[in-house]
Structures are given as C-alpha cells and as structure tokens.
Structure 1
Amino acid sequence: MYAKLTNPTKIIALASVASFALAACGTDSSSGGASSAAPVATEQESATPRLALSYDGGVLILDANSLDQVADIPVEGFTRLNSAGNGRNVFVSTSDGFQVLDMGTWTESHGDHGHSYTATPVMTDMRFGGTKPGHVVPHAGRITLFSDGTGEVDIVDPDALAEGRAESTSHTVPEPHHGVAVARADDTLVVSVGNEDERSGIAILDGDRREIARNDQCPGIHGESGAADGVLTFGCEDGILIVRGNEIQKVQSPDGYGRIGNQAGDESSPISFGDYKKEQDAELERPQQFSLTDTRNGTIRIVPISTSYSFRSLERGPNGEAVLLGTDGAIHVFDVNTGAEIRSVPAIGAWTEPDEWQSPMPNMVVQNGVAYVSDPSAKTITAFDLADGKRKDQAQLPQTTIELTGVTG
C-alpha cells in the first residue's frame, strides 16, 4: 500500500477499495433510510482507531496507529466530515443530507471485556436529514443532526448506528437557518432560533417539543460545546449562552463585538474552549486570542497568543487541555484553568488561513492522547504524542486533503 522512505515517513499510494463479502443486515423505516450490509470482520487484539480525510472526490481512511491507508472511498463534490462519537461511524455531509460512513472498526462489549474487530470501510446507504447538512452533535448518548436547508433536526441512536441500524426521531424548526440542536438525556431538545436572514438565540423544547424556555439575546448564534454536569454552551457575536438544566444564562463578551463562533468542549471539564473575534467589519479576521468560559461562575477569560489560527484549529487534550494549531505551524497546549501555555510543539510549516473556508488548510484532531495534523500543501499527516510532544509517525498522502476526523474503534 505504501513505499517506505526514511523512517518514520511513509508514502501512501492511491488504491481502490477491494470488494468483500457482505452479510445481510436489518433496516428501520422510521429514519427514511436503510442500513448497508455488514462487512465480514476480522478480530483484533485491541481497538483499532482510524482516521478519515476528505479531498475533492473522496475520503481517505487511514489506520491511526500506523498511518497506513485502509481505503479510498469515492464521494462526489465538496464534503464535510463529522465523527458520530460512537467509535465506528463518520457522517459525510453531501448535497442532500448526512450519509453514514462505516469506518470498519468497532468493539463489542461483553460485560467485563470486549472484542475488537476491523473490516473494509464502506459508505452505507443510511442517510439522514435534507439539504445543506450542518452541525453534528454527539451528546448524552444521542447524536443530533441539523439540516440548514430544511430546518430538520434528526436525533440518532449511536449504538444502533454502530450495529448498522438507522434508528432516529425528527423535529423540524419553524424556519430553516444555519443552526444547531442538541438532544439531552431527559429527552428535551435545545435548538437555535433564527431564519435565513438572522439568528437570535435558543429555545428549549420538552419531550413533546413544546417550548419551555427561550433566550433571544445571542445574535449570530453559532456552534456549541458540552461541559461538566451536562452543561451546554452556545456562541454569540457578543458573548456566550450557558445552559444548565432549563436555565439559560447570557455572559457578555468583554468587547462590544466579541464573537465566539467555534468551541471545543470536554464533558468532564467545566471550561469551554472557544475562538474569539473582535473585528466586526473584517472580511476574514485572523484572531490572535481565544476564549475560556468557566460555566460554573459565568466568566469569560480572553487569552492573547502570538499566532493566529482557523476554525479547524481547536481541540481538547486527554486531560481537558486546550490544544490549538497555530498558523506558525506549532501545536500549542494550554491549561484551561489559568490560560497558561503548557507546551509548544513544532508540527508543520507556517501557513495562512485561506480566504474561503472551504479551501484546503491544515487540520488537527486529537484522539487517544495523540494529535494528528494534516498539511495539505505538503500532502502529509503527522502524529504527535501530546504527553511529551514527540512526533510518533508521518505519512505522505496521495491527495490534497480538506477535512479530518477520526473514530476510536
């Protein structure tokens, strides 16, 4: 599959996915889609994490431990990738909905132990939502999908999905918009409020989807994150909303315009790590500060840094650290409680965020204590151990990649 270079770099060659035997699998009509047949599995000694990287024309799938290529799945047009958070599946955003990619790696639990398997990845025929698929939010044992073009919210069972069954319920908001929704453990649903022209806040709906709380003080609402104790946060152009149960708190930014649009949460930490932009009239602001919101006391800390970053640069470490990929080419690790930098790891060459967000740019995903950084200009992916900052491995890719995500297996 690849030719060795000076260790530890590999060149991954383009290869078509080999055909494989399939076994029949059930369907569920409530989702409006069918599951794909299940691939024949090979048992492994332990879970096998995998990575998915999109490019113009498809999705590359790599073994996260070795960075060897496992598959190349053809997909037409510009696609986005989101992990389902169930260890096995990735949602591929296509022109008419969220299509489910089986990454071909999973673990079956049996009481005090589990059995891990791998198979050839396959794009299933399971599909959710409608036009302009947007945010994907795994939270509280549910996956919530929001389709911007239709306003449809789909709530998917992640365990059933991992077993090849498309089990879901749906709700449609009054007006389609670029939105977000989060289903919670008590069957309530938090949804953004807006239309094609503006977005103003959130509403909390009960199990029968009747409104029980609302806040309209969040202009330009965008993005969410989960924090400790089931708390949720939603970014605004002038601060952030904190949701505790059915109470919604607005926390104002220290600047008149202080936009928090993208966040990286950790559901064991009370701190939300977000971006922070303060140039309201900028066509593209390249920020040199980020935000840390303490959901316990409703305070926002703005942390200045010496580099800019993109919306694809924010991740959390294994102990809740804020991990940021800077345009200086380094991985910066921060203590979320103090904002102090713990470590800076040179990773790739310096880069500039492109004017168009769809254009290829470096990406980072953190999984099992390892930061994976893709560099489309060099066509590489590199793995770094966040515990000591050392490079673990690197591979040369056959495509200029756009987005990056992973599953744990």
Structure 2
Amino acid sequence: MKTIRSYRSLGAVVALGTSVALLAACSSESSTDAAADAPTETAAAESVSQATPRIATSYDGGVLILDATTLDTVEDITGIDGFTRLNPAGDGRHVFVSGSGAFTALDAGTWTEGSQYYTSTPALTDIKFDATTPGHVVRHDGKTVLFDDGTGKVEVFESAALLEGTKPEAESYTTPEAHHGVAVELSDGSLLTTVGNEDERTGIVVLDADRNEIARNEDCPGVHGEAVAANETVVVGCQDGLLIYRDGTISKVQSPDAYGRIGNQAGDENSPVLLGDYKTDPDAELERPTRVSLTDTATGELTLVDLGTSYTFRSLGRGPNGEAIVLGTDGALHVIDVNTKAVTKTIPVVGAWEEPVKWQEPRPALFVQDGTAYVSEPATDSVHAVDLASGTISATGELAHTPNELTGVTG
C-alpha cells in the first residue's frame, strides 16, 4: 500500500494544526493566542481502495471522527472548549467548527484525488476565518459562504480551494446591519442575504455580481434559515410563511395560520419541494410541534403533514431520492413521499426522548449522507447508521463521549 505526503496541491505536504484550543462560545482570549502560536505537524496520507466517508460529532470538549460505514471512532480531537457547531465545508474533506471568534476547518482525513482515494489522521487545521459570532455555513454551486452574525460579514470562496491546504482567497461583503442571518451565492455570482439588525429580521435582498441590488422583499418577519430547491430556487423561512427567490423574482408563500413559523428547512436541489418545520404558538417558551411543512416552490402550494410525534430543528433531512425524513421524539425516522405528502415508512431507531429546553443541549440529531441516515443517541452515547433502502440499522457506534452536533464528509 502506497504512502504519500499529502494536502498542499493534493500531493505535497500539509501543515495541520495539532489539537489546539478552538475558540468557543464563551472562551477567553487565550484561545486565540493558543491557536496562533500552536506548532503544526505533517500528516502522512495512505492510499486506500475506495472513497472513505466519515462522520463528525461534537461533544463537550472536542469532536469525534467516525468511520461512516462501521461507526468506529477514527480520532478523538480534544481541546475544543465550549459549545461549538459543525458544518461540512463543501469540499468532501473538511468540516467547519464554529466557535467564539472563528470558523476553523477540521480535516476529517479522507479525500479523492482523480481516481485515487486517500485517508489520513483527522486534525484541526490552521485554516481559520475570523468571526465575532460565527453563524450559518452554506454550500451551493461549488461555493462555500460563511456568515458572521456579530458583524454581518459574508465571506465567499471556492469550496475546492480548501484542498490546497491553505486559507482560500475569499470575497467579502458586509450587510448594512449585523444580525443573525444567512447568505448564499448563486451560479451567476449574485448574492442573496437576509435583512435585519439586532432587534428584528425582516426579509431578504439579492445583489448582482457587482453587488448592486436587484431584488428585495421585507415581508418576512423573523426570517431564518435557507435551503436551495430545484432550478436554483432559494427559500428562506418567515414567522408567517416563506420567501422564494428564483430568476430575479421574490414571491411570498403565506402560512395557513397567522403565526405559522417555518424557521428550519431541508432542501434537495433536484426537487422543487421543500421540507420545513412548522410552529404556531408565538408565546411558547418551547413549542414541540407535530406537523411539518412541505412547500412546492414551483406552485407555491404549502401542505402540512402531521407526524403524530414532535421533533426538533436537528430532525430534518432529505433522502437520496428527495424523500423528506424527520426524526421524531418517538425515536423513529418518518419517511415522507414529497409528491403524495404521505408517510411511507416509519423506522424505529432510538428510544423515545424529549427535547431539552436549551437548544445547545444534546438531543438526538439526524444527518443524511448518500443512502444512509445517521442518528445520534445522547442517552446511550452512541450513533446509529440506518440504511434507508432497507429500513434497517446497518451499524451502531459506541462513543466515549455524549454526542451533540452531527455532520459528515463524503471523502
């Protein structure tokens, strides 16, 4: 088996950060200094016979990297203090760890180079995008877009550039006012961003490639989240429905209730139908909804599907054929045909559970990659892999820590 040195230009040497203390939600200034001053080391890459997808799950103090097939732990990356969020970076190899002060790239140690496949030891890298309050990470059309809630700064770069082993050059744009927002760049170079400030969020604006405004709609109270559907249709949620942007035009889909909040969405770029959550109580400290929304972005038709069980913002996913998948608090995956709007399969996976009041606290989470649904189970410190075609659990990984956020890379 051939061993090569890999990472810079996909054939040379990679300088990977050792397990330094990553900036966390409430960490001190010493984290920044530690990351800047930490030594780096090279990581040997090993040639393997096929692509090796991996799963990443955060825990209090670090991130576990798992083999996506066996769910065996490949590496335990420690020294990550405080609450962090995980998102795939868009290149099939890296995961962004979002903590206080930065989006930091974590190398999951698996990638494809032409027709050759390689793995290496996962590690935090020194590729870091500074952010006061790192928020949403969006991947679309080969671009990765980072949004800093603390400043409104948007950074856009070629996802594949991360494979070079250095920080990619990024185009920057800053929204007029900072807010908890999101942005996505489309194939023509136009940029869609949310509109808001620290007190309220009202809608979206679309800028052309030269960053001149071409469309705006502020009829979207509490705008939150984004997803891309078929025909490069971008959708964001509102407290009373959705905004849909396509081909230079923004349209509004109204919820059937005066307050019908769709704050989290799961899209499929080959399907016109969007999966969203659906909440109707504006005064609830913690609403536990049992209905999800399915919106046909081509016709504007919004349908509510009652699952008979509640779910959380980490419960939404899409299957390989565009099916909507929801992880219920009954412990099962509910598979919905987006055309018939009917639940076609219910797959028991974990024990029944209740959503914790604090959104940062661990609860079962769903991540779908290829034809497998991965479900974490904090109550048993484990992660399960579910073959969606057969509806069976194909693997279970016992973990050394309680899992929280869950994501993965294809390799």
Question: Distance between the aligned counterparts of 1:144 and 1:399, measured in 2?
Answer: 30
Which of 73-82 and 163-172 deviates more? 163-172
Offset at residue 39 of structure 1 (A)? 2.4
* CA-based RMSD: 1.8
How do 1:11-50 and structure 2 match up within 5 A?
24-25=13-14, 39-50=43-54
Match among 326, 330, 333 for residue 331 of structure 1: 333
Offset at residue 37 of structure 1 (A)? 6.6
1:170-208 C-alpha deviation (Å, 9 max, x unpaired): 111111100000011111100000000000000001112
Q: Which residue of the partner structure matches residue 8 of structure 1?
A: none
Offset at residue 337 of structure 1 (A)? 1.2
Q: Which residue of the partner structure matches residue 11 of structure 1?
A: none
Q: Which residue of the partner structure matches residue 146 of structure 2?
A: 145
Offset at residue 326 of structure 1 (A)? 0.2
- Decide whether the 8 Å contact of 1:129 with 1:153 is kept in 2: no
Question: Distance between the aligned counterparts of 1:85 and 1:206, measured in 2?
Answer: 23
Question: Distance between the aligned counterparts of 2:406 and 2:206, measured in 1?
Answer: 31
Q: Which residue of the partner structure matches residue 25 of structure 2?
A: none
One-letter code aligned to 1:364: L
Q: Which residue of the partner structure matches residue 300 of structure 2?
A: 298
Question: Distance between the aligned counterparts of 2:362 and 2:346, measured in 1?
Answer: 24
- Decide whether the 8 Å contact of 2:153 with 2:175 is kept in 1: yes
Question: Distance between the aligned counterparts of 1:365 and 1:26, measured in 2?
Answer: 29
Q: 3-state SS of the aligned residue for 1:161?
A: helix
Question: Distance between the aligned counterparts of 1:38 and 1:373, measured in 2?
Answer: 33
1:116-144 C-alpha deviation (Å, 9 max, x unpaired): 11000110111114111111110111011
1:211-247 C-alpha deviation (Å, 9 max, x unpaired): 1110000100000101111111000000001100211
Q: 3-state SS of the aligned residue for 2:194?
A: strand
Ranges in structure 1 where 5+ consecutive residues have no aligned partner: 1-19, 28-32
Match among 96, 102, 109 for residue 97 of structure 1: 102
Alignment partner of 1:65 is 2:66: no
Question: Distance between the aligned counterparts of 2:62 and 2:226, measured in 1?
Answer: 28
Shift in alpha-carbon separation, 1:306–1:69, aligned structure 2, 3 A: same
Q: Which residue of the partner structure matches residue 218 of structure 2?
A: 216
Q: 3-state SS of the aligned residue for 1:208?
A: coil
Q: Which residue of the partner structure matches residue 281 of structure 2?
A: 279
How do 1:382-397 and structure 2 match up within 5 A?
382-397=384-399
One-letter code aligned to 1:83: P
Question: Distance between the aligned counterparts of 1:91 and 1:78, measured in 2?
Answer: 14
Alignment partner of 1:379 is 2:384: no
Q: Which residue of the partner structure matches residue 251 of structure 2?
A: 249
Match among 85, 90, 115 for residue 80 of structure 1: 85
Question: Distance between the aligned counterparts of 1:39 and 1:197, measured in 2?
Answer: 46
Question: Distance between the aligned counterparts of 1:143 and 1:21, measured in 2?
Answer: 23
Q: 3-state SS of the aligned residue for 1:160?
A: helix
Question: Distance between the aligned counterparts of 2:266 and 2:171, measured in 1?
Answer: 26
Which of 165-174 and 119-128 deviates more? 165-174
What TM-score, normalized by structure 2, do the two folds share? 0.90
Q: 3-state SS of the aligned residue for 2:160?
A: helix
Question: Distance between the aligned counterparts of 1:323 and 1:21, measured in 2?
Answer: 37
Match among 203, 206, 229 for residue 204 of structure 1: 206
Match among 45, 49, 52 for residue 56 of structure 2: 52
Question: Distance between the aligned counterparts of 1:196 and 1:129, measured in 2?
Answer: 20
1:317-354 C-alpha deviation (Å, 9 max, x unpaired): 01000011000000110001121111101100000000
Q: Which residue of the partner structure matches residue 137 of structure 2?
A: 136
One-letter code aligned to 1:63: D
Offset at residue 163 of structure 1 (A)? 2.8
- Decide whether the 8 Å contact of 2:90 with 2:160 is kept in 1: no
Q: 3-state SS of the aligned residue for 1:334?
A: strand
Offset at residue 396 of structure 1 (A)? 1.1
Q: Which residue of the partner structure matches residue 28 of structure 2?
A: none
Alignment partner of 1:225 is 2:230: no
Identity rate of aligned residues, in percent? 57
Q: Which residue of the partner structure matches residue 180 of structure 1?
A: 182
How do 1:102-181 and structure 2 match up within 5 A?
102-109=107-114, 114-167=115-168, 168-181=170-183
Offset at residue 166 of structure 1 (A)? 2.1
Question: Distance between the aligned counterparts of 2:13 and 2:207, measured in 1?
Answer: 38
Q: 3-state SS of the aligned residue for 2:231?
A: helix
One-letter code aligned to 2:131: G
- Decide whether the 8 Å contact of 1:129 with 1:154 is kept in 2: no
Question: Distance between the aligned counterparts of 2:198 and 2:41, measured in 1?
Answer: 38
Question: Distance between the aligned counterparts of 2:190 and 2:255, measured in 1?
Answer: 28
- Decide whether the 8 Å contact of 1:129 with 1:145 is kept in 2: no
Offset at residue 367 of structure 1 (A)? 1.0
Offset at residue 85 of structure 1 (A)? 2.5
- Decide whether the 8 Å contact of 2:15 with 2:43 is kept in 1: no
One-letter code aligned to 2:276: G
Offset at residue 305 of structure 1 (A)? 1.5
- Decide whether the 8 Å contact of 1:47 with 1:116 is kept in 2: yes
- Decide whether the 8 Å contact of 1:62 with 1:69 is kept in 2: yes
Ranges in structure 2 where 5+ consecutive residues have no aligned partner: 17-34
Question: Distance between the aligned counterparts of 2:373 and 2:209, measured in 1?
Answer: 38
Q: Which residue of the partner structure matches residue 20 of structure 2?
A: none
Q: Which residue of the partner structure matches residue 19 of structure 2?
A: none
Match among 190, 194, 197 for residue 195 of structure 1: 197
Offset at residue 21 of structure 1 (A)? 9.8
What TM-score, normalized by structure 1, do the two folds share? 0.90
Question: Distance between the aligned counterparts of 1:100 and 1:21, measured in 2?
Answer: 16
Q: Which residue of the partner structure matches residue 21 of structure 2?
A: none
1:13-72 C-alpha deviation (Å, 9 max, x unpaired): xxxxxxx99964599xxxxx99x7762211111100000010010000000011111111
One-letter code aligned to 1:144: V
Q: 3-state SS of the aligned residue for 1:136?
A: strand
Offset at residue 388 of structure 1 (A)? 1.1
Aligned length, in residue pairs? 380
